[in-house]
Amino acid sequence: MTRSAVTALLPLIILALTSIAVMLAIAVRRSHRAAVIISLAGLVAAFVSLWPASSVAPVPIMSLLIIDRYALVYMGVVLAASTALILLSHTYLAARSEHKEEFYLLLLLATTGSMALAASSHMVSVFLSLELLSISLYALIAYPRSEPLALEAGIKYLVLAASSSAFLLFGFAVMFVAEGNMDFRPVSATVTAGTTPLAYLAGVVLVITGIGFKLAVVPFHLWTPDVYQGAPLPVTAFVATVSKGGVFAFLLRWLQWRSADDKALVIILTILAIASMLAGNLLALRQTNIKRLLAYSSIAHMGYFLVAVIAGGSLGRAAATYYFAAYVVTILGAFGCLLALSDSNREAESFDDIRGLFWRSPVLASVFTAMLLSLAGIPLTAGFLGKFYVFTAGTSAATWALITILIVSSTIGLVYYLRIIVAMFSELERGESTSSRTTPGVLAELSLAVLTLALFVLGVYPGPLWHAIRTAAAF
């Protein structure tokens, strides 16, 4: 292995070593504090090592991985998200009695999987990193073993994720038969536009099924509401952000390598995007549980993301990536607020938990409002610029049907975001007890503040990040 390869792999290596360190630390002595410190140190070190890695990029690691700036951007977002997540959920976990140290171990492993997925260029590496991510998630979702809802969610995710992996694997096999190559890179593209053998098409459909499940686009979304609701809040936030990041990166790369004028693929993705945007937003309207509501909203957001993916080209890729970064900041902030509101016995997830929040703790309510407005795509927030880039990408590719659906469905979406905001600003009935809440803790407050700042910076001053993404996405 050459020196540059090691440098390029540093983020992955550091994170893998960190998870081993956490495991060893648990074996020596259980200490929540130690687990948190080691994980945070590892995540920060991995984040810092992105810069040396980017100085040598792009570096192909055999035919398995390719570490280029594009992969590094995704790794950066995923690492930052995991760091924020640990800071946000630290107090939440501390208040719970079960073993909490393994949570960090699993979190680090899943993050590693997501990062490796962003850099994968070969069927084997894609499958391995996806499984690393999924298997850690099974355990994470069912982490509170005493709660039936979490167990149900865990089992549901296990069954569906395993079968979707099977679809993916079968799709890979079929494509291997059609093309005789397991490498995704364009050198191997023997299928030219116009000639579409049935086997190849079947392979594509199967792979899209597998990916669609991970991204939770309609009609592969059925697990989402239950898992979002049943999983503990930090894990729900993880599922919404980190676990999707790697899959995003892979999807964009794969489409690029598959050549953009692949008609069948575009039609399939368009149907998925339209169905996700409409179904996600319409189903979210009827929800009374905020975690479920955010689950449906995430389905709709995957639809928006697909609009940029379908637009393709380096503009579409950059727009999709920016959208993802903005979405991560926003959804982490939203779940962070719910985490801050949860007490040691139960999570804040119903409308009653947040009713009149603005008059109880105005700062937290304002932060949550900002996050919701960003999800709705109101200017000055990251979500708006993300949507603007998606708009621009879609419009320059002249995908008018998608743009129209995007407009209609995001207006529908506004209704339920406003419902949450209305609940926060409605009058609190006298005598209602709201004092049982614990304080979110300094670390959580700090990371919420950083997320809020990031929300507005990304919404007002997109220059640096957009520039980084744009250069990275021009592969």
**Residue 332's closest CA among 266, 379, 382?**
382
* Subset of 417-456 contacting another protein (CB under 8 A): 418, 422, 425
Count the alpha carbons within 13 Å of 172 in the hemisphere toward its beta carbon. Answer: 20
Q: Please answer whether residues 223 and 160 qualify as being in contact, where contact means their C-beta atoms are separated by less than 8 angstroms.
A: yes
DSSP assignment letter at 346: -
Q: How many residues bind another protein (CB under 8 A)?
A: 26
From candidates 380, 443, 450, 457, binder to another protein by CB under 8 A? 380
* Subset of 397-416 contacting another protein (CB under 8 A): 403, 407-408, 410-411, 414-415
Task: State in angstroms the smallest separation of the CB of 322 from another protein.
Answer: 11
Residue with tokens 């130690």: 34
Task: State in angstroms the smallest separation of the CB of 97 from another protein.
Answer: 39
Q: Does the protein bind another protein through residue 96 (CB under 8 A)?
A: no
Stretch of residues binding another protein (CB under 8 A), selected from 4-12, 84-92, 235-243, 391-399: 391-399
Residue span 358-377 as binding mask against another protein, x where in contact by CB under 8 A, dash where not: -x-------------x----
Q: Please, which residue, 234 or 383, has the CB nearer to another protein?
A: 383
Residue span 312-351 as binding mask against another protein, x where in contact by CB under 8 A, dash where not: ----------------------------------------
CA 260 to chain centre: 24
Q: Does the protein bind another protein through residue 379 (CB under 8 A)?
A: yes
Strand pairing category for 59-61 and 65-67: antiparallel
Cα angle, residue 327 at apex, residues 326 and 333 outer, rounded to 5°: 95
Task: State in angstroms the smallest separation of the CB of 414 from another protein.
Answer: 6
Q: Does the protein bind another protein through residue 462 (CB under 8 A)?
A: yes
Report the C-alpha gap between 174 and 157 in whole angstroms: 25
Q: What stretch of H or E contains 287?
A: none
Q: Please, which residue, 194 or 463, has the CB nearer to another protein?
A: 463
**10 Å Cβ neighbour count for 243?**
25
Task: State in angstroms the smallest separation of the CB of 13 from another protein.
Answer: 34
Count the alpha carbons within 13 Å of 242 in the hemisphere toward its beta carbon. Answer: 32
Q: Does the protein bind another protein through residue 457 (CB under 8 A)?
A: no
Q: Does the protein bind another protein through residue 395 (CB under 8 A)?
A: yes
Residue with tokens 């957009």: 466
Integer angstrom CA distances of residue 145 from 29, 92, 99: 22, 16, 10
Q: What is the DSSP string of 103-162?
A: HHHHHHHHHHHHHHHHHB-BHHHHHHHHHHHHHHHHHHHT-STT-HHHHHHHHHHHHHHH
Stretch of residues binding another protein (CB under 8 A), selected from 33-41, 142-150, 161-169, 389-397: 389-397
Length of the chain: 475
Q: Please answer whether residues 245 and 118 qualify as being in contact, where contact means their C-beta atoms are separated by less than 8 angstroms.
A: yes
Task: State in angstroms the smallest separation of the CB of 309 from another protein.
Answer: 18
Q: Does the protein bind another protein through residue 264 (CB under 8 A)?
A: no
User: Interface residues with another protein (CB under 8 A)?
Assistant: 359, 373, 378-380, 384, 388, 391-392, 395-396, 403, 407-408, 410-411, 414-415, 418, 422, 425, 462-463, 466-467, 470
